[in-house]
Chains A and B, each alone.
Chain A
Amino acid sequence: MEQRKAENTNDLAFSKEISSRLGGETVTLCYQCGTCASSCPVARITEKFNPREVIKMSLWGEKKEILSGDAIWLCCSCYNCQERCPQRVEIADVIYALRNIAIKEGNVPNIYSEFAAGLLNEGRIVPISKFLEKKRPEVGLPPLKPAGVDALRKILSATGFDKLQKKEEAS
Chain B
Amino acid sequence: MEEVKIGVFLSDCGKQLSEILDFDALTDYVKKVSGVALVARDSEFWRGSGLQAIVDAVKDGKINRVVVAENLPKLSEVKIVQAVEKAGLNPYLVAVLDLKDHCAWPHRDKPLEATEKAKAMLLAAIERAKLLEPIEKLQFPALKSVLIIGGGIAGIQAAEDLADLGFKVHLVEKAPFLGGLAARAGRFFPTDDCSICIQSPASDVKTVTHTSRKCVYRSGFTEIPNLNILTNSKIVGVEGVPGNYKVTIEKKPRYVNELKCVGCDLCTTVCPVEVPDEYNAKLKTRKAIYMNIPNVYPPVYVIDESACKFEDCAKCVEVCPTKAIELNQKSKKTTLNVGSIIVATGFQEYDPSVIKEYHYGEYPDIITNLEFARMIDGFGPTNGTIIRPSNRKPAKRIVMIQCVGSRDRRWNPWCSSICCMISLKHAMLIKSAYPDADVTICYIDVRTTGREHEYYYEKAREMGIKFVKGRPTEIVHDPEVDLLIVDVEDQISRKFLELEADLVVLAPAMVPAEGTKELAEILGIELDEDGFFKEYNAKLRPTETKLRGVFLCGGATFPKDAPTTSLHAHSAAIKTAKFLNTGKIVKDQKTAVVNEEYCGDCEFCPVTCPYGAITLEPKDEEHFVAKVSDLLCEGCGICVGTCPVNAIELRHFRPNQIQAQMAALMSINGASKPLVLAVCCSECGGTVVDSSGMAKMQYPANVRVMKVPCTGFLQVHQFLRAFEAGAQGVMVVGCKSDGCHYEVGVKKTEKKVELAKTLLKEYGIEPERLEIFNMVYIEGDKFAEAARMMTEKLEKLGPLQLMKT
Q: Which residues of A contact B (CB under 8 A)?
A: 29, 31-35, 37-39, 43-44, 50, 52, 80, 84, 86-88
- Classify the interface of chain A: helix, strand, loop or mixed: helix
Q: Which of B406-432 contact A (CB under 8 A)?
A: 407-410
Q: Collect the chain B residues with CB atoms within 8 Å of residue A29's CB.
A: 409
- The contact size tier of chain B is 10 to 19
Q: Which residues of B contact A (CB under 8 A)?
A: 357, 403, 407-410, 444, 469-474, 487-489, 491, 494, 496
Q: Are A38 and B407 in contact (CB under 8 A)?
A: no
- Shortest A37–chain B CB gap in Å is 4
Q: Collect the chain B residues with CB atoms within 8 Å of residue A33's CB.
A: 403, 407, 444, 470-471
- Shortest A26–chain B CB gap in Å is 10
Q: Are B471 and A34 in contact (CB under 8 A)?
A: yes
Q: Are A52 and B491 in contact (CB under 8 A)?
A: yes
Mind listing 23 A-B residue pairs with CB under 8 Å? Answer: A31-B407, A31-B444, A33-B470, A34-B469, A34-B470, A34-B488, A34-B489, A35-B472, A37-B470, A38-B472, A38-B473, A38-B488, A38-B496, A43-B489, A50-B489, A50-B494, A52-B489, A80-B473, A84-B357, A86-B408, A86-B410, A88-B409, A88-B410
Q: Collect the chain B residues with CB atoms within 8 Å of residue A32's CB.
A: 444, 491
Task: Decide: A43 near B496, CB < 8 A? Known: A38-B472, A38-B473, A84-B473.
Answer: yes
- Cα of A80 to Cα of B473 in the assembled complex, Å: 9
Q: Which B residue's beta carbon lies closest to that of A86?
A: B408
Q: Collect the chain A residues with CB atoms within 8 Å of residue B410's CB.
A: 86, 88
Q: Collect the chain B residues with CB atoms within 8 Å of residue A50's CB.
A: 489, 494
- Cα of A88 to Cα of B411 in the assembled complex, Å: 11
- Shortest B680–chain A CB gap in Å is 37
Q: Collect the chain B residues with CB atoms within 8 Å of residue A87's CB.
A: 408-409
Q: Which B residue's beta carbon lies closest to that of A36?
A: B473
Q: Collect the chain B residues with CB atoms within 8 Å of residue A84's CB.
A: 357, 473-474
Residue among A32, A38, A88 with the highest chain B CB neighbour number at 10 A: A38
- Cα of A31 to Cα of B474 in the assembled complex, Å: 19
- Cα of A169 to Cα of B235 in the assembled complex, Å: 75
- Cα of A134 to Cα of B172 in the assembled complex, Å: 87
- Shortest A141–chain B CB gap in Å is 42
- Cα of A86 to Cα of B444 in the assembled complex, Å: 11
Q: Collect the chain A residues with CB atoms within 8 Å of residue B470's CB.
A: 33-35, 37-38
Q: Collect the chain B residues with CB atoms within 8 Å of residue A31's CB.
A: 407, 444
- Cα of A82 to Cα of B569 in the assembled complex, Å: 42
- Cα of A106 to Cα of B593 in the assembled complex, Å: 72
- Cα of A33 to Cα of B403 in the assembled complex, Å: 10
Q: Collect the chain A residues with CB atoms within 8 Å of residue B469's CB.
A: 34
Q: Collect the chain B residues with CB atoms within 8 Å of residue A52's CB.
A: 489, 491
Top-9 shortest CB links A-B? A86-B408, A33-B471, A34-B470, A39-B473, A38-B473, A37-B489, A38-B489, A33-B444, A35-B471
Q: Collect the chain A residues with CB atoms within 8 Å of residue B444's CB.
A: 31-34
With beta carbons under 8 angstroms apart, the residue of B409, B487, B494 that contacts A86 is B409
Q: Collect the chain B residues with CB atoms within 8 Å of residue A88's CB.
A: 409-410
- Cα of A148 to Cα of B444 in the assembled complex, Å: 52
- Shortest B416–chain A CB gap in Å is 13
- Cα of A33 to Cα of B404 in the assembled complex, Å: 12
Q: Collect the chain A residues with CB atoms within 8 Å of residue B487's CB.
A: 38-39
Q: Are B407 and A35 in contact (CB under 8 A)?
A: no
- Cα of A158 to Cα of B473 in the assembled complex, Å: 41
- Cα of A31 to Cα of B403 in the assembled complex, Å: 12
- Cα of A115 to Cα of B357 in the assembled complex, Å: 37
Q: Which A residue's beta carbon lies closest to that of B490?
A: A34
Q: Are A44 and B407 in contact (CB under 8 A)?
A: no
- Cα of A84 to Cα of B357 in the assembled complex, Å: 8
- Cα of A37 to Cα of B407 in the assembled complex, Å: 18
- Shortest B402–chain A CB gap in Å is 10
Q: Collect the chain A residues with CB atoms within 8 Å of residue B409's CB.
A: 29, 86-88
- Cα of A44 to Cα of B487 in the assembled complex, Å: 11
Q: Collect the chain A residues with CB atoms within 8 Å of residue B473's CB.
A: 35, 38-39, 80, 84
Q: Collect the chain A residues with CB atoms within 8 Å of residue B472's CB.
A: 35, 38
Q: Which B residue's beta carbon lies closest to that of A81?
A: B473
- Cα of A39 to Cα of B488 in the assembled complex, Å: 8
- Cα of A160 to Cα of B407 in the assembled complex, Å: 41
- Cα of A17 to Cα of B469 in the assembled complex, Å: 29
Q: Which A residue's beta carbon lies closest to that of B445?
A: A31
- Cα of A31 to Cα of B469 in the assembled complex, Å: 12
Residue among B357, B473, B491, B494 with the highest chain A CB neighbour number at 10 A: B473
With A34-B471, A37-B496 already in contact, 14 other A-B pairs whose C-beta atoms are closer than 8 Å? A31-B407, A33-B407, A35-B470, A37-B489, A37-B491, A38-B472, A38-B474, A38-B489, A38-B496, A39-B473, A39-B474, A39-B487, A86-B407, A86-B471
Q: Are B496 and A44 in contact (CB under 8 A)?
A: yes
Q: Which B residue's beta carbon lies closest to that of A89?
A: B409
- Shortest B59–chain A CB gap in Å is 67
- Cα of A52 to Cα of B488 in the assembled complex, Å: 12
- Cα of A104 to Cα of B491 in the assembled complex, Å: 32
- Shortest B441–chain A CB gap in Å is 14
- Shortest A47–chain B CB gap in Å is 8
Q: Which A residue's beta carbon lies closest to that of B497?
A: A38
- Shortest A158–chain B CB gap in Å is 37
- Cα of A52 to Cα of B473 in the assembled complex, Å: 13
Q: Collect the chain B residues with CB atoms within 8 Å of residue A38's CB.
A: 470-474, 487-489, 496
Q: Collect the chain A residues with CB atoms within 8 Å of residue B357's CB.
A: 84
Q: Which A residue's beta carbon lies closest to that of B357?
A: A84
Q: Collect the chain A residues with CB atoms within 8 Å of residue B491's CB.
A: 32, 34, 37, 52
- Shortest B447–chain A CB gap in Å is 13
- Shortest B399–chain A CB gap in Å is 13
Q: Collect the chain A residues with CB atoms within 8 Å of residue B407's CB.
A: 31, 33, 86
Q: Which A residue's beta carbon lies closest to that of B487?
A: A38
